């Protein structure tokens, strides 16, 4: 082992989520399974997940969207990263993109359902704190 390798900190566990909007400005949310073995069961969240190995956040979000819902979003833009202080401790990178399809027709590999919600309805939903923080930050300053 090289001496400089010992000085490096282990890579931070990371993940990526996507804020996907349609032309009406609604946000696509994912109702998570109600299972005691998963993080934030029965919560509305964003599609996404953990990076695998040395996978970049950008590669992780493309893979997760495909794995979870066979969804391809052509205009994904990296927004910002937030540390999940209320949950996993992971550094979660938020992406934004647009998709105008019928969310009820997507083949959902995990979770209960996908649904578009108008921003003013989000306060009625049970959303993990980090995801809510990221959505609020996005809505306060959406990408051009």
Positive or negative: CA dihedral 75, 82, 66, 68: negative
Mean pLDDT calculated for residue range 112-133: 96
Q: Report whether pLDDT(3) > 90.
A: no
> 89: which 2 tokens?
């401790």
Mean pLDDT calculated for residue range 45-73: 95
At residue 127, the pLDDT reads 97
At residue 11, the pLDDT reads 56
pTM over cut 0.85: yes
Q: What confidence tens digit (pLDDT) does each residue in 69-92 have? A: 999 998 999 999 999 988 788 999
Residue 4's pLDDT band, with cuts at 50, 70 and 90, is very low
Q: Report whether pLDDT(9) > 90.
A: no
Q: Report whether pLDDT(1) > 60.
A: no
Mean pLDDT calculated for residue range 84-101: 92
**Residue recorded with tokens 């401790």:** 89
**CA nearest neighbour of 48 among 116, 119, 97, 101:** 97
At residue 69, the pLDDT reads 96
Q: Report whether pLDDT(12) > 80.
A: no
Q: Could you state, in order of their start, the residue ranges of all structural domains in the chain?
A: 12-140
Please name the CATH architecture into which domain 12-140 falls: Alpha-Beta Complex (3.90)
Beta-carbon contacts of residue 43 (< 8 Å; ≥ 6 apart): 31, 32, 126, 127, 128
């Amino acid at each position: 082992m090289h001496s400089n390798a010992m000085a490096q900190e282990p890579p931070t566990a990371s993940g990526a989520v996507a804020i996907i909007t349609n032309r009406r400005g609604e946000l696509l949310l994912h109702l998570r399974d109600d299972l005691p073995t998963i993080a934030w069961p029965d919560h509305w969240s964003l599609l996404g997940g953990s990076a695998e190995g040395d996978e970049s956040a950008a590669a992780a979000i493309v893979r997760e969207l495909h794995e979870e819902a066979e969804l391809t979003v052509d205009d994904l833009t990296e927004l910002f990263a937030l540390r999940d202080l209320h949950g996993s401790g992971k550094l979660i990178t938020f992406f934004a993109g647009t998709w105008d399809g019928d969310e009820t027709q997507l083949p959902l590999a995990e979770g209960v359902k996908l649904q578009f919600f108008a921003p003013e309805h989000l306060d009625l939903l049970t959303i993990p704190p980090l995801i809510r923080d990221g959505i609020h930050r996005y809505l306060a300053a959406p990408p051009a």
